[in-house]
Amino acid sequence: MAGLRTRALLVGASLAVVVGFGGSTVSTVSAATALPARVYAPYFETWTTDGITATAQASGVRYFTLAFLQSLSKTSCTVEWNGSA
């Protein structure tokens, strides 16, 4: 009987440790970064072979307006660029 009691105590203590670690993990959510009062957002032609990241790094532009995005069909949520998804 003492062995069963010891096992129950060990299982209970282990469970408390696991729950304690899991319960102390708090995910922090940071607020969204507000847009500046004025934003320069030139069109980025999505049909070109230019990459948006490379263009941003080369030009220093932080915001873009994506031009001519379309979906595969009227009910689709998949974005398509110049005929290819």
Please, what's the b/e burial string for 40-50 (b: 16 or more CB within 10 A of its CB; e: otherwise)?
eeeebebeeee
Cα separation, 48 vs 68, whole angstroms: 11
**55 exposure class (CB count in 10 Å sphere: 0-12, 13-18, 19+):** middle
C-alpha closest to that of 61 among 43, 34, 37: 43
- Residue range 49-60, pLDDT digits in tens: 889 999 999 999
- Has residue 17 got a pLDDT over 60? no
- Residue range 24-47, pLDDT digits in tens: 555 677 888 888 899 999 988 877
> 41-45, 63-67, 78-82: lowest mean pLDDT where?
78-82
Span 73-85, average pLDDT: 77
**Where is 51: in which H helix or E strand?**
none
